[in-house]
Structure 1
Amino acid sequence: MTIPVILITGFLGSGKTTLLNHLLRDPEMADSAVIINEFGDVAIDHLLVESAIENTVVLQSGCICCTVRGDLVDTLDDLCAKVARGELPAFSRVAIETTGLADPAALVRAFLTEPILAERFDLHAVVATVDAVNGAGQLDSFEEARHQAALADILVLTKSDLAAPAAIADLAARLKTINPGASLVPVVQGQIAPAALFAQVPAHPSRRSGDTLAWLNSEAFAASDSAGSHHDDGIRAFAVTLDRPVTRDALRGWLRSILSLRGVDLLRMKGIVALRGEAAPMVVHAVQQVMHPPVQLPAWPSDDHTTRLVFITRNMEPEALRGSLEVLVARAAA
């Protein structure tokens, strides 16, 4: 059984630590491991500390808390080793708070590519906090803020009590343009129960195939099909559909070519693909150049057997992606 990981990101001053503090006060989070980048805005040391072991502290809530002293892989491996030796209590989930200037893509890739992490941990959700007062300006000025919003599964709109309703509505509309598939949750002082927050994320099909359509959420992308803007660094969200099934080789070749040629601009891609000659579809998921291991479902989740792919990209056009897939399908058929 793998341990679920929650990655909390967000720009400087957007309320990451306030949200994390509130979550950790809930008894549901009592057996959590908390990892904070050492350059974080605010430490959570005002949560009473019960005992300290080297660079690790056990909070009064029962959570294990530490700062990243080097590579994330080493930090998590060290925590697991201390639990195995009985030096720390066992934990059933991990919460990681990034720095305000971090691009979460690197951490997402680590959980997909590092064998030590992939065997023990499962990245359950990327949560990005967005300041309702200053968020629009940060999206205008900082690429990191745009990438944090684009890669999120949940967008937590903080300080929503301090912003004018019209400004909140404009910011929410812009965030939906950048990332139509993410849940948008307004909070005040970070006050939301863990169960209510994490319930916003459908399970990946590898964990529960019944949630595939909610996980894909292609309707939101089809309705958005945003044209992007200069404000958001050419970030565009859209859906691509294909009526004809594809061969495994054609799918593999197309994915390989897209990731190798344009992977840096492929912020996120998810899809359900009809395979030629097979009764069940394949689920694919990529973050930039890294592909999550494809999963074949036991059956189609609905009567619609169309291939559906959703993208969040930078300076990529849906027509080009659709055309490249159709060319590979045609070649394979010939």
Structure 2
Amino acid sequence: MSLIPATILTGFLGSGKTTLLKRVLSEQHGQKIAVIENEFGEENIDNDILVSESKEQIVQMSNGCICCTIREDLREALQLLAAKKRKGLLDFDRVVIETTGLADPGPVAQTFFMDEEIAESFLLDSILTLVDAKHAAQQLNDRQEARRQVGFADQIFISKADLVSGEELDALQHRLKHMNPRAPQQVVHFGEVPIANVLDLRGFNLNAKLDIDPDFLKEDEHDHDHHDHEHGEHCNHPSHQHDHDHDHDHDHGHEHGQGHHHHHDDDVKSFVFRTRKPLDPAKLEDFLGAIVNIYGPRMLRYKGVLDMKGTNRKVIFQGVHQLMGSDLGPEWAEGEERVSKMVFIGIDLPRDILLQGLAQCEA
């Protein structure tokens, strides 16, 4: 039996996760989706979505989707669903796990890698994070959980953008980009997202693409020529707390469409390492192993496409917290520039130690 794809849906309280889910569940897309409400004893989401008030955990819905509410272990719920599917008691194609507003998606993601039984039945497709534009500034300032959710995302959906000004939206998108340059951002209205933008995003695929907006990297290049290390960290203003009461007049940052003066000094940050020299596999493995050992809990997502000594194929690696995986990708094309690129997203990671250590892994 092929693996069942799973999507983790996370996001700020009030960001519209339920609206998005309802849409995904009620749309006639011909897919049978099992939704797991992972809600740790909070109030149930709108009961009209759950159709019946019965005590049964799993509720079948009119278009063939099913919804199950768990208050205990996610592992057990996943195993139960997989077992019922195997026995032909339930028919579904994929799973969407909705976490509570302030849940950390990390442990949920790790379940799919660490637990052999789960890994035999399910494949983690991606982590989606919904951000409420109206309350984002406040939530990102006040709650580390909200910042972590942004750092984990493979795809960010921004809701309620119509309630803020263009400048505020621009500043928010800039801020999110610094925290997580890997995740594309999409502004959505009332959960109206085409299903293709939600499912099968392959965020955890070890593919040879590392989608970091090249302009995001270029902004820094004029300041830092040393050793071709670029990173996504800008002016170190103290955090502009609580919304944007600072004046919008000094427009110097907007000459090339960048609102530098909105930069918040968030603890969730990203930076990028690039080198044109091949890397030594043994050195790199030792260094990354040591880093993950020490900083793993603070490392949210990291990914690299690398030029390794001794192989003509790209080496692709990625990780979540302490869990790392790597794979051989396609061959470097003829005439393609062999550049190793890595992006790290984490909480107060020691950028200099990482960049220096990686530079020492050059062959």
Task: Quickly name the TM-score band, shorter chain normalised.
Answer: 0.7 to 0.9
Structure 1 residue 144: deviation in Å?
0.4
- Structure 1 distance, partners of 2:282, 2:304, is 17
Per-residue deviation, residues 192-228 of structure 1 (Å, max 9, x unmatched): 12113447x466554xx4xx22x44363662461247
Question: Aligned equivalents of 1:29 and 1:138: distance in 2?
Answer: 36
Q: Within 5 Å, give how 1:215-254 maps onto structure 2.
A: 215-217=210-212, 219=214, 222-223=217-218, 225-227=232-234, 230=239, 231=264, 233-254=266-287
Residue in structure 2 matching 1:268, options 301, 311, 315? 301
Q: Which residue of 2 aligns with 1:313?
A: 346
Name the stretch that deviates more: 22-31 or 167-176.
22-31
Letter in 2 for 1:151: F
Residue deviations 1:88-139 (CA, integer Å, cap 9, x gap):
2x21111010001101111111112111222221211111111111111000
Q: Distance in 1 between matches of 2:217 and 2:116?
A: 35
Question: Given the superposition, is the C-alpha separation of residues 33 and 198 from structure 1 closer, same or farther in structure 2, using an over 3 Å criterion?
Answer: closer
- Aligned pairs for 1:283-302 (under 5 A) are 283-291=316-324, 293-300=325-332
Q: Is the 8 A contact 1:101 1:144 kept in 2?
A: yes
Aligned letter for 2:125?
H
Structure 1 residue 280: Cα displacement? 0.7
The worse-fitting range, judged by mean Cα deviation, of 97-106 and 65-74 is 65-74
1:107 aligns with 2:108: yes
Q: Deviations over 1:19-71 (max 9, x none)?
A: 11111111226411100023456525313638979311101121111012322
The separation in 1 between residues aligned to 2:165 and 2:276, in whole angstroms, is 45
- 2:76 counterpart letter in structure 1: D
Contact 2:6 2:122 survives alignment (8 Å): yes
Is the Cα–Cα contact under 8 Å of residues 29 and 194 in structure 1 kept in the other structure?
A: no
Deviation at 1:256, TM superposition (A): 0.6
Equivalent residue number for residue 182 of structure 2: 181
Aligned residues: percent identity? 33
Q: Which residue of 1 aligns with 2:13?
A: 12
Contact 1:23/1:194 (<8 A) preserved:
yes
Which structure would you say has the larger Rg?
Answer: 2
Amino acid paired to 2:349: M
With over 3 angstroms needed to count, the CA separation of the structure-2 counterparts of 1:145 and 1:232, relative to structure 1, is farther
- 1:283-316 CA distances to partner (integer Å, 9 max, x unpaired)? 110112221x211113136812121111112222
**Quick check: 236-245 or 278-287, which moved more?**
236-245
- Aligned residues: CA RMSD: 2.4
TM-score (norm 2): 0.81
Residues 1-334 of structure 1: pairs in structure 2 closer than 5 A: 1-28=2-29, 30-38=31-39, 39=41, 42-47=44-49, 49=51, 54-88=56-90, 90-198=91-199, 201=201, 204-206=204-206, 209=207, 212-213=208-209, 215-217=210-212, 219=214, 222-223=217-218, 225-227=232-234, 230=239, 231=264, 233-291=266-324, 293-300=325-332, 303-329=336-362
Name the TM-score, length of structure 1 as normaliser: 0.88
Letter of the 1:63 counterpart: C
Q: Which amino acid aligns with 1:217?
A: I
SS in structure 2 at match of 1:75:
helix
Structure 1: stretches of 5+ with no match in the other structure: none
Q: Is the 8 A contact 2:126 2:202 kept in 1?
A: no
Q: Check the 8 A contact 2:38/2:74 in 1, yes or no.
A: no
* AA partner of residue 5 (structure 2): P
Preserved CA contact (<8 Å) 2:104 2:145: yes
For the 8 Å contact 2:130–2:159, the answer to whether it is kept is yes
In structure 2, distance between residues paired with 1:236 and 1:32: 34
Equivalenced residue count is 322
SS of the residue 1:102 aligns to: coil
Which residue identity lines up with residue 169 of structure 2 in the other structure? I
Q: How far apart, in 2, do the equivalents of 1:124 and 1:220 lie? A: 27
Given that residues 52 and 58 in structure 1 are in contact (C-alpha distance below 8 angstroms), is that contact kept between their aligned partners in structure 2?
no
